[in-house]
Amino acid sequence: MPTPATLALFAAATLALLVVPGPAVVYIVTRSVAQGRTAGLVSVLGVHAGSLVHVGAAALGISALLAASATAFTIVKYLGAAYLVCLGVRKLIRRSEDDSPEVAAASRSRLFGEGFVVNVLNPKTAIFFLAFLPQFADPARGPVAAQIVLLGVIWIVLGMASDGTYAVLASALAGRLRSSVRARRRLDVGSGVVYLGLGAVAAFASEGSKRL
């Protein structure tokens, strides 16, 4: 297993990366503002259930295959981009039944499921686990797969703490926004544009630009 010093260095590097908002954070903040803290935290759970898929893939070497195959990378990249664009379009065309003071809330299972899909279809996350985790694994200290699983679990725990903080802060600052029909519509438009932008970046960015 990695030494305590290696684990501490990994934790510090992970936190530095996690504080930079990506598609998952945008999703979590959007849900927290629209539906409150519980919705945001359920979204966090969904996102990091998706992280478990990437940890398992990295441990089994599937992420290495993904990075080595241009076709596989392209398929995952465009699936992720398409989903983000879909979320953006849905936000932009959503009508204001909105004239009512309450936003139609998504169920917890839907919040969890959408968070899961957002992260599973994020190629940056797959490449992160491929490029970042192995740097902290030492074959001389035991099975590499087990070390990657340990590092992945640490990443998920820190990610839940970081994303949970985003969810709590977003919901705390958004109470007045949720009570305003006009503000909610502006939030939908703003988040829709962000999702579309993220989808465009994911679709057109080169593989090299996605290296961490």
Q: What would the two tokens of residue 206 be?
A: 């080169």
pLDDT at 42: 95
pLDDT > 70 in the chain, percent: 68
123 close to 77: Cβ distance less than 8 angstroms:
yes
pLDDT reported for residue 183: 57
Q: What's the pLDDT at 135?
A: 72
Q: Which residues of the chain have pLDDT under 50?
A: 97-103, 206-212
Residue 191: CB atoms within 10 Å:
21
Instruction: For the chain, give the percent of residues with pLDDT over 90.
Output: 17
pLDDT, position 69 = 72
Residue-level pLDDT at 67? 61
Residues 6+ apart with CB under 8 A from 108: 38, 39, 42
- What's the pTM value of the predicted model, to 2 decimals? 0.67
Centroid of chain to Cα 45: 10
